[in-house]
Amino acid sequence: MDNYIFYNGSRIKNLQGQRFGKLTANKAVEIKNRYAIWECKCDCGNIRNVSAKLLNSGTVKMCSDCARKEKSIALMEKHANTKSLNKEDLTGRSFEDWKVIKKGVCQNGVQMWECKCLKCGSVREFPVYKLVNNTIAKCKCQSPAYRLLNSKMGLLTVVGVINGKCKCKCKCGKEIIVSVSDLCWRRSCGCMDDIEKTEHTKLALAVNKGQKIRKDNTSGVSGVHRVNGKWGARITFQKKTYWLGTYGKKKDAIEARKKAEEHLYTDFMDWYNTKYSKSAETINEKEAALKELLQMTHEGTITDYEKELASHREEKYSK
């Protein structure tokens, strides 16, 4: 038997005489969606047309009548297994973090069992087949929100859990609901910003020497801000920012910023002006000489000697 045959001008794989479950391929009847449709005979005697794709993949292995019969048999077996499981006594047995306390009600032919969590003591009902197959859900105490109960995050204290989120009480007395991910950076209900700005207003004015503070500044000091739960300090000079470090306490960050400002606005500026003043004059002289040379060359008013002198001046200032 050849592996391939031609049918209606199409080259198809020859499945004649091959068995696929209860089906035996007899002949090709048509080409549909680039696949050959084969007429198959079931062991029960029924005829069914099946695509070669479904036959080769094992999706179809019998006729429709046999499929319905097998499905009903499987349902009957499942129901029988459920009945046998319903008769078992699971009282006192442990399944993962749950312990069966007592027998519950029977819902839709499935026995329910009341279970108690071994860690937090919460009670919940599970169907018998989930207990036996170890497909029961975990207790809520295993979720990240419950693990943070009674923990403190800055001024916030986790006092409860609502829909997977943490219910937190601030030190000021206000209660807010925060997600677990937001608790990684949030430390108050919003009152901390106002408190810090009030406490450090005078210090900010002294350090910043009258400079305006941004509205979103949480420290009250320019150049001091939050960095991953700590305080960072930085300073900017000549449009370039210099990092001064990260500190656990805000006072240390403010002190580092203050020292940097004292150094920058006193000794450093004097040194900077002294070093770069002559260079600025040299640059200005060079630019003026080149500008004059280009203007004279363009007008054609210089001699060959003057051109040599001009080239010498250009080489001198270009070094």
Greatest mean pLDDT range, 231-245, 263-277, 291-305: 231-245
Q: Which ranges in the chain belong to alpha helices (H)?
A: 52-57, 64-87, 128-132, 144-147, 191-199, 201-208, 250-263, 269-299, 304-318
pLDDT reported for residue 20:
92
CB neighbourhood size of 283 (10 A):
12
Amino acid (1-letter code) at residue 195? I
Residue 92: burial class (beta carbons within 10 Å; 0-12, 13-18, 19+): exposed
Q: How confident is the model at residue 264 (pLDDT cuts 50, 70, 90)?
A: low
Query: What residues form DSSP beta bridges with 224?
Result: 233
CB neighbourhood size of 103 (10 A):
15
Mean pLDDT, the chain, as a whole number?
A: 75
Contacts of 249 (CB under 8 A, 6+ apart): 231
The closest alpha carbon to 48, from 68, 32, 24, belongs to 24
Greatest mean pLDDT range, 166-180, 236-250, 263-277, 281-295: 166-180
The CATH code that applies to domain 210-266 is 3.30.730
Domain definitions of the chain by residue range:
4-70, 88-142, 144-189, 210-266, 272-318
pLDDT reported for residue 80:
60
In this structure, the strands spanning 47-51 and 94-95 are unpaired
Predicted TM-score of the model (pTM): 0.32
Distance between CA atoms of residues 52 and 14, nearest Å: 10
Residue with tokens 């087949």: 129
Length of the chain: 319
pLDDT in tens, 33-58: 889 999 999 999 999 999 999 999 88
pLDDT reported for residue 95:
84
Q: How confident is the model at residue 210 (pLDDT cuts 50, 70, 90)?
A: very low
Whether the per-residue pLDDT at 2 is higher than 90: the answer is: no
Residue with tokens 């009957």: 76
78 or 208: which leads in pLDDT: 78
DSSP E strands, 120-155: 123-127, 152-153
Distance between CA atoms of residues 99 and 143, nearest Å: 19
Distance between CA atoms of residues 160 and 157, nearest Å: 9
Distance between CA atoms of residues 158 and 169, nearest Å: 6
Distance between CA atoms of residues 98 and 139, nearest Å: 8
pLDDT reported for residue 178:
87
Range with the poorest average pLDDT among 22-31, 56-65, 289-298:
289-298
Distance between CA atoms of residues 136 and 82, nearest Å: 16
Distance between CA atoms of residues 30 and 49, nearest Å: 10
pLDDT reported for residue 307:
56
Distance between CA atoms of residues 195 and 85, nearest Å: 63
